Structure 1
């Protein structure tokens, strides 16, 4: 009988351990990318706001992530906000001085909202910085009732352990010399 109880406890812990990263906060599907590369950021939302459905997602684009273009999402309106760059860059022979600093998805109707019990993805694409290092995306999750500001960044390093509302981390690694700069 004790063995059966132990097996059930192990199984329960395994399920919780598997679910924790997905449901604890917003995460990236691919948590790392080479420097200076085209990167598809898939933000995975695992829950709403204390039982309330998600009606909006706002992603603040970090400095150095260039040429952001969001993917459309059926049932959601997507908008971008431009801002002046501290350091302009060249894209296909054109000097870029303003770039996307914010991407917002808003449910177009109550039926389009993401229920608390469901998981979904919000996607954008851009170019990673030329230098390796951590890149933090701050995300505001807006719900029918309440909101979650996933914006806490550790004072040092990249560990989010102990942070109540961690920002989303993309670890930019050394450049991949085999890829095509776009």
Structure 2
């Protein structure tokens, strides 16, 4: 294979890896819905599509922000639930421990019903510690005024308090809608995965073309 063809192959594969990088960079814990009405209630779904590197997820510890008057974690067969309470009796943190570790390449989700008080701030951040068989991820960063949350390396899931919230979010005693569950993962990971797949495909196509060209030149 000529140096020119080798250079083209390396460039094509490098481009594929660069496009694949967002898939890892954008992977984090998302929350749905991400907007709730003032003094309203909602069933929040926290989801993830990754572990710690390649290590399965064993638990999620979610810290509650100020401004919530009640928190009711959902119980199901996938997670054991442990609730921590502050001195005032309100829930301060909830730990969901997986009955079976969630493989790093599968999606996991936990849910809880919350109700907002009249003193709830305009933004509610829920820092999450993602524990794995090996290692842990701390999703705790909160964007400052004027800062783009997408620029953060380890953003905490954030819910906005606004009158423009989807009416379906105000579901204090209802069940979490299937549509919301399907969309609970932040869209950014999906975009990153799509770009990564396209990049890898481009690299593979370049490899095939280069190999075919090399074979023709040796005949």
Q: Shared fold by TM > 0.5?
A: yes
Matching of residues 25-174 of structure 1 within 5 Å: 25-84=28-87, 97-108=88-99, 112-130=100-118, 131=120, 133-157=122-146, 159-174=148-163
The structure that is helix-richer by fraction is 2
Q: Work out whether residues 43 and 171 of structure 2, in 8 Å CA contact, stay in contact via their aligned partners in 1.
A: no
Which 4+ stretches in 1 moved above 4 angstroms?
178-182
- C-alpha RMSD of matched pairs (Å): 2.8
Kindly state the Cα deviation for residue 68 of structure 1 after the two structures are TM-superposed.
0.5
Kindly state the Cα deviation for residue 162 of structure 1 after the two structures are TM-superposed.
1.8
Structure 1: unaligned runs, 5 residues or longer:
1-8, 85-96
Over residues 113-166 of structure 1, what are the superposed CA-to-partner deviations in whole Å (9 max), with x where a residue is unaligned?
A: 111110121101111243561110000000011100000012225731221100
Over residues 11-64 of structure 1, what are the superposed CA-to-partner deviations in whole Å (9 max), with x where a residue is unaligned?
A: xx7x998x789x621111211110101111100111100011000000000011
| Count of residues in Structure 1 that have an aligned counterpart in Structure 2 | 152
Q: Work out whether residues 68 and 100 of structure 1, in 8 Å CA contact, stay in contact via their aligned partners in 2.
A: yes
Structure 2: unaligned runs, 5 residues or longer:
1-14, 174-219
Q: TM-score, normalised by structure 2?
A: 0.61
- Which structure has more relative contact order (CA 8 Å, sep 6+)? It is 2
Q: Work out whether residues 132 and 175 of structure 1, in 8 Å CA contact, stay in contact via their aligned partners in 2.
A: no
Q: Work out whether residues 132 and 173 of structure 1, in 8 Å CA contact, stay in contact via their aligned partners in 2.
A: no
Structure with larger Rg: 2
